[in-house]
Structure 1
Amino acid sequence: MKKIFFLSLLLFAFGFGNAQSERYLKTMEAKVAAIDTTYNPAGLVELANTFERIGDAEKTQWLPYYYAALAHVNSGLMQMNGGSVDAAKTDPIADKAEAALNKAAALTPDNAEVQILRKMIANLRMMGDPMNRFMTYGQQGAQALAKAKTLNPDNPRIYMLEAQDKFYTPEQFGGSKAEAKTLFETAMQKFASFKPESSLHPQWGKRTVQYFIAQAK
């Protein structure tokens, strides 16, 4: 009788856990898709808050916190005006992105995707005052991207960010449209063979690369 009871309890626990996993998967798939179709800061902040709630509920999943950080960063980048941003507005956004990303990093040490977002957060901070912040955040971003390349040299988003750096940096400071084009083409080649671990793992960036390559023609 005890064996039947424990077997029933085990089956119930398995069924409950499986239902939770399916619910998590469906909820996340819908929200991850929205990352690529949300083009206003308010919508991205709402997405970030939703991802953080999912992360807090799941506790062991790094992806919700990762996407919360990505949504915050994207909302900050949308504040760009003429190549710069208002630090008073974007620094608090960068703080929120970093806090979420740190939660993801605690759950997945040595993850290239986390390092890629660290580079993006550093870029967002630097753009608040490029002349005075380049030495600090430029270096932080470069270190994060170098670590990402060590962890996964086939990740296409690494080369996309390197290309954007070359594209937007003035030539007198090391920028080059020609080098940027080559890096964007490398990123596109990497996207062609890149295989995400699941439907929830990062896949973004390809459309951005296609846009820049089209501009270079």
Structure 2
Amino acid sequence: MKKLALLFILMFTVTISAQSKYQNGMKKAFSHWEKGEMVKAFQLFERISKAEPKKWKPAYYAATVEILASFGLKDEATLKAKLTKAQEFLDVAKSNSENNPEILITQALLNTAYIAFDGQKYGMTLSGKNAQLYAKALAIAPNNPRVIMGNAEWNMGAARFFGKSTKPYCDEIKRAIKLGKEEKIEEEFYPKFMIKRAEQVLKQCEK
């Protein structure tokens, strides 16, 4: 009986140690991100993802960092390399969390990075896919502020491209901000709504 108790304690201690290592690693990766150290953040999320292949969040954040770093790039080969790597991590995240609205809208963001680089080359094939991704995400999580915000920004971008007003989407951004302020996230390391950024987008929308 004592041996069984000792074995249980040992297993429990190992589990706690592994959880602590994961949590500390994730916190350090977010710290790099907040400091603008994108490469360090990506590398750490990448290592955590490989160490924790059944968790969706490390792979999701590795993909997100690579996608954000791809905006503004001028070289297509560099862009493709970053987004191909990001897609690999998104696929890992998808395999561990099916029909996850956070992953769906990040897939749309990845597509948007291609479109932003060359709208004529990538817009025709990816614009329709983005509309489907946002529609699916909204069907799953109609009150998710990140989903609402992402969809509104996508529609605003399309409106600007066609020379139309972005004002019709201001109410959706206001709704996203309201929901973002009310949202209570209990799941550790779950994506959070960026209220300040949303408020900046709202100012641009209302112009």
1:105 to 88, 94, 102: 94
Question: Per-residue CA shift, 1:55-104, capped at 9, x if unaligned?
Answer: 1112221110000011001101243xxxxx54333122111111001001
| Counterpart for residue 191 of structure 2 | 202
CA distance in 1, matches of 2:13, 2:98: 30
1:8 matches 2:2: no
| Counterpart for residue 54 of structure 2 | 60
Give the length in aligned residue pairs: 206
Superposition RMSD in Å: 2.1
2:83 is matched by which residue type in structure 1? A
Q: Equivalent residue of 2:143, what SS?
A: coil
Contact 1:160–1:205 under 8 Å retained in 2: no
Q: Under a length normalisation based on structure 2, what TM-score does the superposition of the two structures give?
A: 0.89
1:212 to 195, 201, 204: 201
What is the 5 A alignment of 1:62-77? 62-77=56-71
CA distance in 1, matches of 2:161, 2:64: 31
Flag the 1:188–1:127 CA change in 2: closer, same or farther, 3 A.
same
Q: Structure 1: give runs of 5+ residues left out of the alignment.
A: 80-84
Flag the 1:91–1:175 CA change in 2: closer, same or farther, 3 A.
farther
Q: Structure 2: give runs of 5+ residues left out of the alignment.
A: none
| Counterpart for residue 44 of structure 2 | 50
Q: Equivalent residue of 2:142, what SS?
A: coil
Q: Under a length normalisation based on structure 1, what TM-score does the superposition of the two structures give?
A: 0.85
1:191 to 141, 164, 180: 180
CA distance in 2, matches of 1:36, 1:137: 30
1:169 to 152, 158, 168: 158
The alpha-carbon deviation at position 171 of structure 1 amounts to 5.0
| Counterpart for residue 135 of structure 2 | 146
2:169 to 180, 193, 203: 180
Question: Per-residue CA shift, 1:34-66, capped at 9, x if unaligned?
Answer: 43442xxxx323311210110111222111000
| Counterpart for residue 82 of structure 1 | none
Q: Equivalent residue of 1:195, what SS?
A: coil
Question: Per-residue CA shift, 1:111-148, capped at 9, x if unaligned?
Answer: 11110100001101122220232121111111111111
